[in-house]
Structure 1
């Protein structure tokens, strides 16, 4: 019988195909670390919420995004037609969130046999063919403990408050060794006490403390600070938007919001409007404002003063619901 291979995205699909491995490949394709993720047992309804968020945030056509999710979901729904299902995921936050969503899905599929997990400590999208082949040979049957751990992690991630997520992330999960560190990195994206900055936001401002710099350079510097790099260019741009277009801007110099000119992603070599917009954004020179310098010094509370609103998993961060996470102590602060 044929094999179903579920992995993180198109780059990984290309590398697996290039290595000559046989199977039907499905890229999971969702940056779950950004935007709302409801605690809904129905995969289609979760995908609808995700599609609405991504279309609005990134300037994409809603119907097209919905169609992509529907195509993806339909392929996992027919997993019973395959003799084996392999899950290929990396160590970083982007992949670990996708993995627990898939594990949560399979936790509700009775008596599913032939599930295998391939956990990579390196990035699938840049692997050489021999590395891909070696990883394929190291696959292990997916255990019930791994499935249940994934289900619990997904439940904590999609809960309306981050209390369970924090408790789960601070425990060691030997069956899924990359999951705890990844979720701790997610918690670091909650506003910090005093400054109201997430870890990524603080790193952005620190890169500008010595003077203006181009967006592409700041992205490269901040991206490299994570041992397990997870933040692609477009979600990074969304963070820049939040700093630049706030009521009291912390940075200045962006030409437009990420979603204002349609999708910024483009195929290399395409000379169309999407590529031009991307280059204009990535090439813009940005600088720290007085408010940004004050936030770095702990004298300006970005989350409070700018009434930050965003969602992380099932938690909504907003005025009156301003959850904070102290990266030094690992403690959550509930809204007043």
Structure 2
């Protein structure tokens, strides 16, 4: 029996390849936790046969390597046509929010193709796949569950909610039965917590940065979420965290001072001197930053806000908020 595994992080894909559990392992790496969501037509084109996808640019096989994948690339196969070449298709899902957003997007897409969903199974874990040893993963296979209609319906409802123009449908998922995708609930909550908070107008990750800085973690990378470090919040990835720190330090009235280099982009990383200056920066809370930590100031009263949370555009005039204490949405 031929097996195809999809997973949603590069590290997870690397370990699964080393475990030799499947004929082909693919790491899908779309970022949906931050920034404006691509249009549905663009995402569909990404997964379509090459002739359709090329009209809009990217294709799902771009940058993937391996004999089977290179052959599929030459033939311009879409995702569905490639899946049809395998007897079993499996989704191995990490616990982080972006992996779950990719999961619900992919299940929503696959839902229309019963010839693929009939051979589809899912493994949801509360452990980071890429942090395990390859030999450990063989035992995980017993937790694979066939994908049924209720998995597909839950995923479609959740993906639609994430793309909605307000956070209300996403919040309402907490009142729905998410048992088909049991790890999804944690991601729903984690993403709600990244909405501007009722008091500070900062998300949970930004607040964690300020609190760590208040506790004398003074270098930029001290504030980045890493396992077994003070900040273990895994909602955002490396580049997104760097952008959040830039946003707190490079604005009209900063909450953080002392960031000696930036912006946090590829050009800075490719310049060793600039990157060293960035890493050596000694950060400090500004007056505004200290007031926010003390619960006495609102970032949005001093600085412009414009960012995307799923399909919701957040601005100073349209600032949906999350009330941490009551665990409720606060409309603009």
Q: Normalised by the size of structure 1, how large is the TM-score? A: 0.83
Show the counterpart of 2:264.
258
CA contact (8 A) 1:39 1:155 kept: no
Instruction: Note the 1:284-299 alignment, pairs <5 A.
Output: 284-299=281-296
CA RMSD of aligned residues (A): 2.7
What is the CA deviation profile of residues 96-116 of structure 1, one whole-angstrom value per residue up to 9, with x for unaligned ones? Answer: 111111111112224432001
What is the rounded CA distance, in whole Å, between the counterparts of 1:146 and 1:226 in structure 2? 32
1:105 and 1:2, CA in 2 relative to 1: closer, same or farther beyond 3 A?
A: same
What is the rounded CA distance, in whole Å, between the counterparts of 1:220 and 1:320 in structure 2? 30
TM superposition shift of 1:77: 3.8
What is the rounded CA distance, in whole Å, between the counterparts of 1:274 and 1:77 in structure 2? 42
1:330 and 1:280, CA in 2 relative to 1: closer, same or farther beyond 3 A?
A: same
Gaps of 5+ in 2: 48-53, 65-75
Q: How many residues align?
A: 309
TM superposition shift of 1:202: 0.9
Question: Which of 96, 100, 103 is equivalent to 2:100?
Answer: 96
User: Relative to structure 2, which stretch is displaced further, 226-235 or 148-157?
Assistant: 226-235
* Secondary structure, aligned partner of 2:40: coil
Show the counterpart of 2:163.
158
What is the CA deviation profile of residues 29-70 of structure 1, one whole-angstrom value per residue up to 9, with x for unaligned ones? Answer: 1231111115625524689xxxxxxxxxxxxxxx9xx64756
1:226 and 1:290, CA in 2 relative to 1: closer, same or farther beyond 3 A?
A: closer
1:150 and 1:220, CA in 2 relative to 1: closer, same or farther beyond 3 A?
A: closer
Show the counterpart of 1:327.
324
What is the rounded CA distance, in whole Å, between the counterparts of 1:226 and 1:146 in structure 2? 32
TM superposition shift of 1:301: 1.4
* Secondary structure, aligned partner of 1:299: coil
What is the rounded CA distance, in whole Å, between the counterparts of 1:320 and 1:46 in structure 2? 34
CA contact (8 A) 2:256 2:283 kept: yes
What is the rounded CA distance, in whole Å, between the counterparts of 2:233 and 2:182 in structure 1? 13
* Secondary structure, aligned partner of 1:285: coil
Larger Rg: 2
- Higher RCO (C-alpha 8 Å, min separation 6): 1
1:226 and 1:41, CA in 2 relative to 1: closer, same or farther beyond 3 A?
A: farther
Question: Which of 280, 299, 315 is equivalent to 1:302?
Answer: 299
* Secondary structure, aligned partner of 1:35: coil
Question: Which of 217, 223, 227 is equivalent to 1:218?
Answer: 223
1:248 and 1:224, CA in 2 relative to 1: closer, same or farther beyond 3 A?
A: same
Gaps of 5+ in 1: 48-62, 265-272
Show the counterpart of 1:52.
none
Q: Normalised by the size of structure 2, how large is the TM-score? A: 0.83
1:76 corresponds to 2:79: yes
* Secondary structure, aligned partner of 1:85: strand
What is the rounded CA distance, in whole Å, between the counterparts of 2:99 and 2:309 in structure 1? 16
CA contact (8 A) 1:117 1:140 kept: yes
CA contact (8 A) 2:225 2:232 kept: no
Instruction: Note the 1:18-167 alignment, pairs <5 A.
Output: 18-38=18-38, 40=40, 43-44=43-44, 67=58, 69=60, 71=62, 76-78=79-81, 79-112=83-116, 113-167=118-172
